[in-house]
A and B are shown apart, each in its own frame.
Chain A
């Protein structure tokens, strides 16, 4: 009997040396004539422990991490194949506080199963949602999603059921399901992790969406920066097809649905849904004016559901367990769970899926363990490059769409980037404008010209030139971008700029804020 060892194939684990660890384990096992079977799983999301190696013992899976190539000999000597004691031994991963505190629905299987194994997926509840969806039929599926209260996880928070109903009611000889997997926000990696760790879940979610609205073709549009995710998705699609779960008459039903992965080419703006559709069509990724909505005239002018990876991967659970059960998690109008990504200058960075409502400070200080540098936390940027910088005195903010919006901040795709006290806020504000100027699609003037003018203004402010007047112009410019831009790129770039300015005015050469705490 060979001993089964799990070493993640997640890009983060690979970037930290997982492939070298696999080679070292194989060599050491061969030298010792110990038969081992290595499974490349996804990541459990405790990314500071990657590569996290798990050995299957009679007591369950025992984890060690972070394992480097050089540690492998020592692990064998310590008897890690039997779960032996070692400095890197973590014990049972599911008992680790970081995992034990979570409510994992979307990420329930991620890191546990072999992402390319259909039988692993089914053994852990996979395709239960599709089975029920087939029994319910289109109208009932949408009703179930409506009951769940699911809102788009890409950032806008639009109710998913309404979008689906619109496409279901729209007339068209063809309809499409497009998955927005163009996860360009810094500090976010949940889409990547699920595509690498549990790709069947996305396939199942898209298939259910297809049945609900009458679409027979799906596209996953993802980034060229994600080659590992693309490979994992393509492999899973192939396997699903071989099992009759994609293609004609899926699972023996009357429904047909097939899908394809498409790769972007390094344009951030293609994460905006209409720019993404143009890019899929083979055009420049410029933003479309709305209306018409993609639900009416989307991909190739056909009715199209465009949803984020995390919205679509929530769907199999909603169908399998019922919408009400999903809606029991969360607070206010933010229902269900959110896979939150804790990153940047943080000690315990990783993926933390939990019900909406958890305070930001708890995520950063208790779960994330504060900064990696050991210096005090200064602020956190939540929601990617277009998200606000939240200062420590607002860390009691609950993770909830409306609560964040009330403080001029946004949840976005659930990414938190932690900064320590060395963060230079004017520099970060300038970076936000510069990023917008580089990535603007150029269609609307406030974004295209405004961001360039914003960089120039920041340069003058940072040089101490007519600070008061330039800050007034900057604030005015931000207002114009916010109200006048066609999409969130120009419209939300003011969030990081103004939040940095409003919370840390003295760094910009302006008078300090009067009320230090609210």
Chain B
């Protein structure tokens, strides 16, 4: 044996210790090591296109307008993708995350109710937990060091997200704008990065509150859904205004911090100058500003230095005269100094901003509320949405530049939020627009789909060896008619008294069922609800069957079926996270959806009415009506694919076993 091949005593001991350690760590470690070696250099890219509809996609592919997707379809890499029940984005993306249905992750709607308080409503995906250990000083409460815990926001989604398995196997994963993951879940092994998407609040703690200043605005300021309006009064062409900022939770009676600013205008030049936070912003009529950083000062007791919270806004000068109008975007968290954790690891937000500058951090980025509330017209909404897409494409470029191997996930919201406002089932009348207008704006949406095709083509070109999966969480349908579930329950004697206006004021001694959220129907169950009256077991079963039969039999004035299918969750869902599950999921037929009143538990005047909102399309129907899409640059198995199949597919691509908690199976 030559000298250099001989094993020294030190080397022998080192190898023995390593082998012993591997044996003691068990087969799990070995399996991970095997998976890691198999996955080394492997690239999987998942592009999440929210709301991409199969019918429209197929039409555009047939017309030759989406050549990349058409090519994948020809190669067997396209299927309609089964969505979640109900097909709401937070539910659907949680299905994608867990590879399993709502029974595993516990998200059944945008909002839930706590039966202990009968109908205490809360946001389903995240919860802010009040802190403890405070010292009251005048109007302030101060957190005592080392005692109690500070207030924090917790992720409510349950179960194990599929990236945890990648993380444990030392396979890198990075997610940009992932829905249903705020605050971002922790990475145990440091191989996972995530920027939270839908569900991330703005600095006011809402899901996007614009502020709107006009000379004919209300006095005092008026709050509307997703916005706040102010009156602006000019003196010598200058007006003083205030901008509402973050909540000062250090006060015993928390209130929003405010920032004063001035607006100067030149009517002849059609321009305005905004003086805010030591900065000047000069805008022409119809022009958007860049991101403007703002430091909100939170009042503290006199003996403490004042605290500051950083935010960013964009101004849009709508009109200089005759009536001055100024739109201010929701106050987003400044990613260079986020007030709350929006990324995992926390410094990820800042490292993106270092290269790209400030960017949208709220979950909902397109200004759909401004269009719904008639602050914007369609073209203004499209212009704002185009800014969002431009920013997203810069982020995608950053993501691709910084990607070597492992999993890369990137999310586009444009198709969903623009879909809600601009969609049109063109074989039908549009609920709120003339045919010409509907056609014009629907063409914009079609172009957006075609743009997605180009984006995916570019990704495949840049990463020819990667498995590229493009998928959507659901499709789209016209929202022409709204069904008021609570009004129907009231009229049919399930919800009382006969003049009840909201489930918040129902007579629970005589109420057997109520609706909350977009698709949820709850039975007032004894032992579960605070004032429950329906006995669980046979009585409840009978009631559920009765409700299903009656709801599915409802016909509109033209004889059209309103509700396609009502699903019993105890028979449909599997898993341990059923605490807040509704008893029934109401799945609407195409063209129908729950009324705006129903979502918040209110009873409208009519059971069925026209939807006159600019929000003219939706997907919160029956799951069979609005499937999503899945495209892959590898052939997809011919079985019906579903959202829960994507996570197992990704794990299999990296050579990992599909855990028993997942309901789906690999499709590639």
A binds B: no
